[in-house]
Amino acid sequence: MADVAALAQERTQLMADVLAGRIPKRVPVVPALTYEFSVQYAGMDLMSAAWNLENFEPVCDRICQDFYADYFPVIHLRFPALYKTLGAKNWIMGSQGFMQHPEVVGLLEEEYDEFISSPYDCIMEKILPRIYTNLDTDPQTRSITMAKAFKIFNDEFGNIGMVAAKLSRKYGYANANLFTAAPSAPFDFVADQLRGFRNIMKDVRRIPDKVEAAVKAVTPLLIKMGTPAAPAPNSAVFMPLHMAPYMREKDFARLYWPTFKECVEAFAEMGIPTLLFVEQDWMRFLDYLYELPENTIMWFEYGDPKLSKEKVGSKHIITGFYPVTFLYTETAVECIDKAKEVIDILAPGGRYYFNFDKSPLTLGSVNPENIKAVLDYVAQNANY
Amino acid sequence: MQTKYYKTWEEYKAQHPEISKREEKAMAARMQGYEEAMFAFVMFLLI
């Protein structure tokens, strides 16, 4: 037990150093494996495992036993019980048990003004009943459905928190939390489930003033969503970024950047950095990202690691860039060589921890033995 | 936040003048905690 406590202390120090911009003793290893991948790896049926809370601990325990990590390595966010109870259109379970996200439109074009006037009222009265069909009913039935859904939400996150804490103690993981909350960037919030991908692209060109007003109106809600009750050490607000790579720079500068920056700055002022999942290729926007508060964490998917290190690496913390597809197509030796290449570019000077460019989604999309080989290699060799 | 579906403690208290100072001390944090939890839940439904 003393050894595990010492290990946890050492790993906590690694995370504390990297998050503060100090050079740690070695590169921290922080993989984020999806629960779906983990269930399949553990040899369980995904549909059954995803529906039943009690499977989360044994599945995660198996992952913790077999894959090196300095931080609790499993992420889980989509709960079928919740979405089924609500009659969701936005998250639907496929035949294999995966939660899939079809294009949805929660906000009609003619409702922009209503949303701008009071986004939260519009969410409650128009958007939720449109996306969650079981809320589009009489007040009594709706209140019962909401009560059940809220109970499921708390049961699921309560279970995840309990299991993560228990296994962190068991395996000596760092005392850190990089996912305290997960607000969207304001433009993404309006795009993702309110207007939908196709509509928002038209809106940007046809009614940019409405889009701008909507994005500004919802910003305080997203700052509130990411605000921690009490900021804890070694923690971060997680913010996945979606739409910018599909935008012209002039639209990005006007409609995406100002409120996104406002959110990240607001969290920094509260003493909590933001972990940005920089999805797709943001190389066009690196100069913008540089302007964010110091030690913002940037988990890059695609792009040029050298250019990113050069442009933002002296001020911000970088992770990602290791192509998860490599873990499927290449040999273990080639996978390790790729890790060396990525580390040689990103680790010098600190402000870097190891993670893949995205989370492996299914067992069939990666070779788990390659994941193990890479994580072990980084843990044993990426010393400063 | 301009909405009828979320209230700060101060807004709640203004609508309930019968709440004594002693009651307020005992109940404010818990009541506000549920308000915050419901807000977090509603926003989660759209991410």
Nearest to A150 among B2, B36, B41 (CB): B41
Q: What are the CA-CA distances from residue A375 to residues A66, A169, A293 (Å)?
A: 11, 20, 30
- Is residue A380 pLDDT above 70, yes or no? yes
- Is residue A154 pLDDT above 60, yes or no? yes
Interface check for B29 against chain A (CB to CB < 8 A): the answer is no
List A113's β-bridge partners, or say none. none
Contact A120 B47 (CB under 8 A): no
Nearest to B3 among A120, A127, A149 (CB): A120
Contact A256, A286 (CB under 8 A): no
What string of DSSP letters covers A103-169? ----S-GGGHHHHHH-HHHHIIIIIHHHHBGGGSS-HHHHHHHHHHHHHHHHHHHHHHHHHHHHHHH
Contact A119, A213 (CB under 8 A): no
Distance (Å) from the alpha carbon of B20 to chain A's nearest alpha carbon: 26
Written as one letter, the residue type at A193 is: Q
A124/A364: higher pLDDT = A124
Report chain B residues whose CB lies below 8 A from the CB of A192: 46-47
Alpha carbons A208 and A76: distance in angstroms, whole number: 35
* The predicted structure's pLDDT at residue A96: 82
Contact A124 B47 (CB under 8 A): no
Written as one letter, the residue type at A367 is: N
Report chain B residues whose CB lies below 8 A from the CB of A193: 46-47
Alpha carbons A59 and A81: distance in angstroms, whole number: 18
Q: What ipTM goes with this model?
A: 0.95
- The set of residues, in sequence order, having a beta carbon less than 8 Å from that of A242 and lying 6+ positions away, is A184, A185, A188, A191, A192, A279
Mutate to test the interface with B, among A89, A121, A156 (most CBs of B within 10 A): A121
Nearest-by-CA chain B residue for A152: B41
A157-209 pLDDT, tens digit per residue, is 999 999 999 999 999 999 999 999 999 999 999 999 999 999 999 999 999 99
Q: What are the CA-CA distances from residue A170 to residues A4, A30, A54, A167, A362 (Å)?
A: 7, 17, 18, 5, 26
A62-93 pLDDT, tens digit per residue, is 999 999 999 999 999 999 999 999 999 999 98
Distance (Å) from the alpha carbon of B38 to chain A's nearest alpha carbon: 8
Half-sphere exposure of A62 (CA within 13 A, CB side): 14
Distance (Å) from the alpha carbon of B13 to chain A's nearest alpha carbon: 21
In SS3 terms, A18-65 reads as HHHCCCCCECCECCCEEHHHHHHHCCCCHHHHHHCHHHHHHHHHHHHH
The two three-digit tokens of residue A63, written as one number: 């992952």
Alpha carbons A277 and A48: distance in angstroms, whole number: 29
A316-363 pLDDT, tens digit per residue, is 999 999 999 999 999 999 999 999 999 999 999 999 999 999 999 999
Query: Is A114 buried (19+), middle (13-18) or exposed (0-12) by CB count in 10 A?
Result: middle
Alpha carbons B35 and B47: distance in angstroms, whole number: 19
A234: left (phi over 0), alpha (psi -120 to 50) or beta: left
The two three-digit tokens of residue B42, written as one number: 């509603």
- Is residue A261 pLDDT above 60, yes or no? yes
- Is residue A1 pLDDT above 60, yes or no? no
Query: What's the mean pLDDT when you consider all of chain A?
Result: 96
Interface check for B45 against chain A (CB to CB < 8 A): the answer is yes
Report chain B residues whose CB lies below 8 A from the CB of A135: none
A47/A249: higher pLDDT = A249
Question: Dihedral, CA atoms, A370, A373, A376, A377, nearest 10 degrees?
Answer: -110
If you count residue pairs, one on A and one on B, with CB atoms under 8 Å apart, how many are there? 57
The two three-digit tokens of residue B15, written as one number: 């609508």
Task: State residue A320 phi and psi, 5-degree precision.
Answer: 90, -150
B1-47 pLDDT, tens digit per residue, is 889 999 999 999 999 999 999 999 999 999 999 999 999 999 999 99
Written as one letter, the residue type at A202 is: K
Nearest-by-CA chain B residue for A190: B46
Half-sphere exposure of A31 (CA within 13 A, CB side): 28
- A7 CB neighbour count, 10 Å cutoff: 15
Report chain A residues whose CB lies below 8 A from the CB of B3: 118, 120-121, 124
